[in-house]
Chain A
Amino acid sequence: MSLEMFISALVDGVALGFIFLMLSLGLSIIFGLMRIVNFAHGSLFTLGAYIGYEIASRTNNIIYGILVSLLSIGVIGAFIEKYFLKYRKDPLIQVIVTIGLMIIFDRLAWIKWGDITYIWTPQWLEGSLRIGSIIIYSYRVFIIIVGLIVSAGTYYLFTKTRFGLFVRAGIDDREMIQAFGSNIERLFTITFAIGSMLAGLAGFLLVPWQGVYPLIGTNYLLYAFAIVVIGGLGSIEGTIIASLLIGIIQQLCAYYAPYLTEISVFIVMFIILYLRPQGLFGKVIA
């Protein structure tokens, strides 16, 4: 029960929180705007991790890994939306299609990369920083910094740009935004691509810390669903706050009560939903 351990757990928690944030934000915005529950979202996380890993380990450059994973998963996301989801508006069909994609992607990943966990850390981010007797791993700090940049960028995109205004209006009323001249279909594809990009980035950022294996994304997706529900469906602020909260809680459990780590998310979800069914900032009771 030392201060050093607590701070270490907190830093890990915030870093994990940002990973959750990037993964969950995509899910939340896609659901909020398009009412699509994307079960393949986790597979995009996994794919981003693998693609980023391949590029980064060969070029020995984490920035290239980040850029390539962002771009490639963005393109894949746009492709999925345009060719698999766009004209299938029945929610049940969408769920079945995305589950199918999840199974296919995850299996293909297993075939290509196998069962082992790949980890790669850039040399300049190995090791740790020392503040007094407190040790903080450099890579966690890197995740937090990237997370802050991505969050700021996403926040700016959705609150200060014309595109963001249209997405927020579309989340409020999908039909009326069309009645005022907005081609919502294009908005959908772009939004789906952005949400997917964030998932891919999150997956790659986790590689130096926890590595990548075929089912990692789909495992994290489970937490992401819980986080989105805790934060409140349709609420961007809710997703952000819930992600950081769950990241911290999970890491605190990992340090102090390891047997609770896996289920801590769901305990929190149960409590929040019991007290407040719409989630912390929810607009929709689903």
Chain B
Amino acid sequence: MLRVKNIEVHIGSLYILQKISLELYEKETLFIIGSNGAGKTTLLKTIMGFYRPFSGSIEFRGLDITYLPPYERSKLGIKYAPDNRRLFTSLSVEDNLMIPLLADGLPKNKILDRIEYIYNLFPDLKRLRKLKASQLSGGQQQMLNIGRAIISPNTKILLLDEPVEGLSPLYVSKITNALSELAKEGMSMIIVETRPTLMKKLKGRCIVLNGGRVVFDGTVEDLVIKQDLIKIYFG
């Protein structure tokens, strides 16, 4: 579904992604793990279009999207939930959820349906819907971040950067359940993590990044076997 081939990304004078390749198949979850500074966030941002690769290509269902701007990729169904949330802070919770739907050009009744869908997935957001995004707690903001990324009916790939990092166990479980639901419904996801919290709970393949390079590509079970990698990356 998504094919990243040999991409190289420089940021300033730093050589961040050093010929990375990966593949995401339809309806699967791919985990990207590695220590801080390995290039995970850069990789997701490049897939979303915020960075231009120096060389290499990115293909989505056969379409070359390497040089497409972010808003075109979003229209194709690639959605992004960044690690520092980056909500529209002066807008209400409900307005934050509306933005992707309005950009899609959905009619009003469809918009209400989709918002109800998110409220069923994350009941807390329904209760908080009139509050400004900046007034939410960390866990609630993260739910809004994810909700915003999945609300469009056009969502085909979810790029999630550290979806449960730094959250209390209550919110970790709420979000894990929601993502598990999505995986069952067939959503394709790329999940970036530093600590293997979700990796242990959701099924999928996994890629380990270190120093801008892929050092492992396989199933989670295979990774568990490779104890030496685990020691290096997770202490």
Interfacial residues, chain A to chain B (CB-CB below 8 A): 162, 165-166, 168-169, 171-173, 175-184, 283
Residue contacts A-B, CB under 8 angstroms, 15 given? A165-B91, A165-B95, A172-B90, A173-B89, A176-B80, A177-B88, A178-B69, A179-B70, A179-B71, A179-B79, A180-B71, A180-B103, A180-B148, A181-B152, A184-B71
| Residues 97 to 125 of chain B near chain A (Cβ within 8 Å) | 98-100, 102-104
Contacting pair B91 A179 (CB below 8 A) = no
Q: How far is the CB of B84 from chain A (nearest CB, A)?
A: 10
CA A177 to CA B89, docked complex, whole Å = 12
Contacting pair A172 B88 (CB below 8 A) = yes
Closest residue of chain B to A175, judged by CB? B50
Closest residue of chain A to B105, judged by CB? A181
Closest residue of chain B to A235, judged by CB? B90
Contacting pair A183 B88 (CB below 8 A) = no
Which of the listed residues B75, B95, B99 has the most CB atoms from chain A within 10 Å of its own CB? B99
CA A166 to CA B87, docked complex, whole Å = 13
Contacting pair B103 A182 (CB below 8 A) = yes
Beyond A162-B102, A165-B99, whether A181 also contacts B71 by CB under 8 A is yes
A sample of 12 more A-B contacts (CB under 8 A), given A165-B91, A181-B104, is: A162-B102, A169-B99, A173-B88, A176-B82, A178-B70, A179-B71, A179-B80, A180-B79, A180-B99, A180-B152, A181-B100, A283-B90
**Does B188 sit within 8 A of A, measured CB to CB?**
no
CA A177 to CA B88, docked complex, whole Å = 8
Beyond A181-B74, A183-B71, whether A165 also contacts B89 by CB under 8 A is no
How many A-B residue pairs have C-beta atoms within 8 angstroms? Tell me. Answer: 68
Interfacial residues, chain B to chain A (CB-CB below 8 A): 48, 50, 69-71, 74-75, 79-80, 82, 86-91, 95-96, 98-100, 102-104, 148, 152
Contacting pair A175 B70 (CB below 8 A) = yes
Chain A residues positioned under 8 Å from B69 (CB to CB):
178
Contacting pair A180 B50 (CB below 8 A) = no
Closest residue of chain B to A184, judged by CB? B71
Chain B residues positioned under 8 Å from A177 (CB to CB):
88, 99
Q: How far is the CB of A11 from chain B (nearest CB, A)?
A: 34
Of the residues A162, A172, A178, contact of B91 by C-beta under 8 Å: A172
Chain A residues positioned under 8 Å from B96 (CB to CB):
169
CA A162 to CA B148, docked complex, whole Å = 17
Chain A residues positioned under 8 Å from B48 (CB to CB):
179
CA A117 to CA B191, docked complex, whole Å = 65
| 9 interchain residue pairs of minimum CB distance | A181-B103, A169-B88, A178-B70, A180-B100, A181-B74, A172-B88, A178-B71, A179-B80, A176-B86
CA A224 to CA B55, docked complex, whole Å = 46
Chain B residues positioned under 8 Å from A162 (CB to CB):
102
Contacting pair A168 B91 (CB below 8 A) = yes
Closest residue of chain A to B76, judged by CB? A181
Closest residue of chain A to B45, judged by CB? A175
CA A173 to CA B88, docked complex, whole Å = 6
CA A178 to CA B87, docked complex, whole Å = 13
Contacting pair A168 B71 (CB below 8 A) = no
Chain A residues positioned under 8 Å from B99 (CB to CB):
165-166, 169, 177, 180, 182
